[in-house]
């Protein structure tokens, strides 16, 4: 069962300005889906199309298995969103801001205190939202998105303006929401290291085209063209002379760095060193991460 | 019921906003000046409060200052400020992703704007009532107005002024809703008001909606025809601008940000509407409707000045 299913989505702002080319997305229910791409790739446009902020021109958008245009209000009542900067009424307090949306969602009043507690804004009292820091505004935006207990959360760059501690708190909160309440989360962010710690699935978009979609493991494996092995030995120079004929290697910070792709090659290297009387003190491997995989893919 | 919730939500947004302060200050500004004047000229106040027609005199004094310039400008400002709540706080996208129909969003906001106008009228009338009462409360020698308060005459007069305000409100709200820049609708409103004041004594000055509130007072100067039924015109303009605004709003929200379609459609609708309005006015100028009232009754007394009572 997919929470969001997008088929052949194409969108243009003018005859010559194409934003999305034939996008196909499948976001499973209960997933945390990282939507990645450089600036101008089409992430925000896709999210706006999903939420009906842009009128769909070509293709199909199904949310909870239903066509958005035919079930707009029903779908939106189960969706929370934070697109670009948060929408906060500056002259109102945090609780008053939430009261505006509570009226529309008709959720219980105590839900306001719950979400304020959840995002850590329960102590802001009578302070006007206009006087909040950027991070507090971002958290209030998230509180608004969570007010209606959504089954789907759509977040565009939610960590913008947050300090490192705030980013960690946001990540923990999103993980909690996903694990405890089963909320499906579609999130875009430029902070790839953060996304890597959060998401279960990844979609990579560039210049309006979807380049990859799958689980995080599938993504990093699909791009694992290079793995470095760092070996610390009793005689680095001798080890280098021994291995440089057979492997792409170099000396770096009294360590031998070898480009390797498989476990069997690492085992062969260790055997060879030991056979030639070189003691092996330490072996480290540098696994491919989301950042390098992402860079490899979009280049 | 959802519509009521949407209105409540919109009503909450105006709390502590500039528009709330504008209504409060605007409602009591003129009455406060009149009260100060009545306190300063104490002996005249003693005499006036004992005469018949004191309430009508106070009503006329307050409305005269309010109607010509302050109220049209106040409406212009209020319409801009209420839509700026969404623009300034970058909140339109959150409104559009809330579970309510686009038409509900439009009408809920519109109802709130109308309620704000009613709120202003109520505060202003409380202010007018206070001009009669406060000097008597402060000074022992100033009697309470001898004449009973003409409640229903106030209601009818306010009702007519309210109808006269509607076309300004509808047009200014239309401009403010579709133009993000705060200055443009205010500038257009100010320019139209000045042009209308200049054009008021023109034979066909009754076609200018910004003149309707001030007409009863200008009619007293025998410059214009007091017999024109401006309420009928005001209602027609109000319905026209409101429907045009609604169509543009729905079109805009359906094709939001996809500039090509939006610009084309909105341009077509705006052009068609302008043509329809010009045709309607031209038909009136040529006398095609044949029902222009040309009463030669001119207002020249205090009571007749107040054609809104």
Cα Rg of chain B, angstroms:
21
β-strands A58-63, A66-67: how paired?
A: antiparallel
Q: B136-167, pLDDT tens digit by residue?
A: 999 888 888 888 889 999 999 999 999 999 99
* DSSP per-residue codes, A200-256: SEEEEEETTEEEEEEEHHHHHHHT---EEEEEEES-HHHHHHHHTTTS-EEEETTEE
| CA pair distance A38, A22, nearest whole angstrom | 18
Q: What residues of A are in contact with residue B90 (Cβ under 8 Å)? A: 84-87
- Answer for the pair B213, B161: CB distance below 8 angstroms, yes or no: yes
Test the A interface: residue of B99, B100, B108, B260 with most A CBs within 10 Å: B99
Q: How far does B172 lie from chain A, in Å, by closest CA? A: 23
Nearest to A89 among B13, B100, B101 (CB): B13
Q: Which residue has the higher pLDDT, A109 or B290?
A: A109
Please say whether the dihedral angle defined by the alpha carbons of residues A130, A136, A138 and A141, taken in this order, is positive or negative. negative
Nearest CA in chain A to B6: A104
Q: B7-52, pLDDT tens digit by residue?
A: 999 999 999 999 999 999 999 999 999 999 999 998 888 888 888 8
In this prediction, residue B299 carries a pLDDT of: 36
The single-letter DSSP state of residue A131 is G
Pick from B122, B118, B96: which is nearest to B6 by CA? B96
Q: Could you tell me which residues are beta bridge partners of residue A155?
A: A82, A187
In this prediction, residue B257 carries a pLDDT of: 44
| CA pair distance B279, B267, nearest whole angstrom | 18
Q: B258-286, pLDDT tens digit by residue?
A: 444 556 666 666 777 777 777 667 666 66
| CA pair distance A32, A142, nearest whole angstrom | 16
In this prediction, residue B231 carries a pLDDT of: 85
- Answer for the pair B21, B111: CB distance below 8 angstroms, yes or no: no
In this prediction, residue A77 carries a pLDDT of: 94
In this prediction, residue A45 carries a pLDDT of: 92
Put simply, whether A104 touches B (Cβ < 8 Å) is yes
Would you say residue B168 has pLDDT above 90?
yes
User: For the sheet containing A32-36, what is the strand order?
Assistant: A79-82, A152-156, A184-188, A32-36, A201-206, A209-215
In this prediction, residue A72 carries a pLDDT of: 92
Ordered domains of chain A (ranges, CATH) = 2-213 (3.40.50.300), 227-298 (3.30.70)
Put simply, whether B296 touches A (Cβ < 8 Å) is no
Q: What residues of B are in contact with residue A87 (Cβ under 8 Å)? A: 89-95
Could you say which residues of chain A have pLDDT below 70?
222-227, 260-261, 286-289, 299
Put simply, whether A134 touches B (Cβ < 8 Å) is no
pLDDT interval class at B209 (50, 70, 90)? confident
Instruction: Report, as an integer, the average pLDDT of B101-120.
Output: 94
- Chains A and B: how many Cβ contacts under 8 Å? 93
In this prediction, residue A30 carries a pLDDT of: 93
Number of domains in chain B: 1
Assigned domain for B2 exists: no
Q: What residues of B are in contact with residue A105 (Cβ under 8 Å)? A: 98-99
Put simply, whether B257 touches A (Cβ < 8 Å) is yes
| CA pair distance A279, A238, nearest whole angstrom | 11
Assigned domain for B170 exists: yes
Query: Which structural domain, as residue segments, surrounds residue B30?
Result: 11-305
In this prediction, residue B196 carries a pLDDT of: 87
Average pLDDT along chain A: 88
Would you say residue B247 has pLDDT above 50?
yes
- Answer for the pair A119, A143: CB distance below 8 angstroms, yes or no: yes
Assigned domain for B149 exists: yes
In this prediction, residue B222 carries a pLDDT of: 57
Nearest CA in chain A to B255: A55
In this prediction, residue B173 carries a pLDDT of: 94
Assigned domain for B5 exists: no
Nearest to A14 among B12, B94, B259 (CB): B259
Q: Which residue has the higher pLDDT, B224 or B65?
A: B65
First-to-last CA distance in chain A? 33
Q: Which residues contact A65 (CB under 8 A, 6 or more apart)?
A: A1, A2, A5
Q: What residues of B are in contact with residue A83 (Cβ under 8 Å)? A: 93, 97
Assigned domain for B3 exists: no
Return residues 7-66 of B near A (CB < 8 Å). Answer: 8-9, 12-13, 15-17
Pick from B190, B9, B187: which is nearest to B86 by CA? B9
Q: A152-169, pLDDT tens digit by residue?
A: 999 998 887 788 888 888
Q: How wide is the angle at C-alpha B49 spanned by C-alphas B47 and B54, nearest 5°?
A: 115
Q: How far does B186 lie from chain A, in Å, by closest CA? A: 22
ipTM: 0.79
Nearest to A99 among B12, B89, B93 (CB): B12
Assigned domain for B1 exists: no
Q: Which residues contact A15 (CB under 8 A, 6 or more apart)?
A: B260
């Amino acid at each position: 069962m997919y929470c969001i299913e997008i088929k052949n989505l194409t969108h243009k702002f003018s005859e010559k300005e194409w934003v999305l080319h034939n996008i196909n997305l499948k976001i499973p229910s209960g997933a945390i889906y990282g939507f990645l791409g450089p600036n101008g790739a089409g992430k925000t446009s896709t999210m706006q199309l999903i939420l009906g902020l842009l009128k769909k021109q070509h293709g199909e958008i199904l949310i909870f298995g239903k066509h958005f245009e035919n079930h707009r209000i029903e779908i939106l009542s189960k969706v929370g969103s934070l697109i670009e900067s948060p929408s906060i009424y500056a002259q109102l307090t945090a609780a008053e801001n939430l009261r505006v949306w509570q009226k529309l969602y008709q959720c219980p009043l105590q839900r306001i205190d719950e979400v304020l507690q959840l995002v850590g804004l329960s102590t802001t009292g009578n302070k006007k939202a206009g006087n909040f820091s950027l991070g507090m505004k971002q958290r209030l935006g998230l509180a608004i998105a969570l007010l209606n207990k959504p089954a789907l959360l759509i977040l565009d760059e939610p960590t913008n303006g947050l300090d490192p501690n705030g980013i960690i708190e946001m990540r923990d909160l999103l993980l909690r929401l996903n694990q405890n309440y089963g909320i499906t989360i579609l999130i875009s962010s430029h902070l790839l290291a953060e996304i890597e710690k959060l998401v279960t699935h990844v979609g990579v978009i560039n210049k309006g085209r979807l380049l990859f979609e799958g689980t995080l493991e599938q993504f990093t494996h699909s791009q694992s063209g290079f793995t470095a092995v760092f070996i610390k030995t009793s005689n680095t120079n001798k080890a280098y002379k021994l291995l440089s004929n057979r492997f792409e290697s170099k000396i770096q910070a009294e360590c031998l760095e070898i480009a390797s792709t498989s476990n069997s090659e690492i085992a062969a290297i260790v055997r060879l060193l030991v056979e030639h009387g070189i003691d092996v003190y330490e072996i480290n491997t540098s696994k491919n991460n989301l950042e390098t995989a992402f860079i490899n893919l979009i280049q | 019921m959802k519509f009521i919730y949407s209105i409540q939500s919109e009503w909450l947004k105006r709390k502590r906003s500039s528009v709330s302060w504008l209504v409060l200050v605007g409602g009591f500004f003129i009455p406060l000046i009149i009260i100060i004047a009545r306190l300063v000229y104490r002996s005249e106040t003693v005499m006036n409060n004992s005469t018949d027609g004191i309430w009508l005199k106070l009503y006329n004094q307050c409305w005269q200052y309010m109607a010509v310039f302050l109220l049209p400008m106040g409406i212009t400002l209020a319409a801009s400020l209420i839509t700026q709540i969404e623009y300034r706080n970058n909140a339109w996208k959150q409104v559009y992703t809330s579970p309510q129909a686009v038409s509900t969003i439009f009408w809920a906001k519109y109802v709130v704007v109308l309620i704000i106008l009613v709120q202003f009228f109520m505060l202003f009338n409380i202010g007018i009532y206070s001009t009669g009462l406060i000097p008597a409360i402060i000074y022992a020698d100033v009697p309470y107005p001898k004449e009973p308060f003409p409640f229903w005459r106030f209601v009818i007069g306010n009702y007519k002024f309210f109808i006269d305000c509607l076309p300004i409100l509808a047009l200014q709200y239309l401009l403010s809703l579709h133009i993000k820049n705060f200055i443009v609708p205010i500038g257009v409103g100010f320019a139209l008001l000045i042009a209308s004041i200049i054009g008021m004594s023109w034979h066909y000055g009754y076609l200018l909606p910004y003149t309707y509130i001030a007409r009863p007072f200008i009619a007293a100067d025998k410059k214009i025809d007091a017999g024109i039924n401006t309420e009928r015109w005001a209602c027609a303009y109000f319905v026209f601008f409101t429907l045009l605004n609604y169509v543009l709003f729905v079109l805009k929200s359906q094709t939001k940000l996809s500039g090509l379609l939006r610009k084309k459609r909105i341009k077509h609708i705006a052009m068609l509407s302008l043509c329809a309005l010009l045709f309607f006015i031209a038909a009136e100028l040529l006398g095609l409707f044949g029902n222009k009232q040309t009463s030669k009754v001119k207002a020249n007394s205090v009571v007749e000045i107040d054609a809104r009572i």
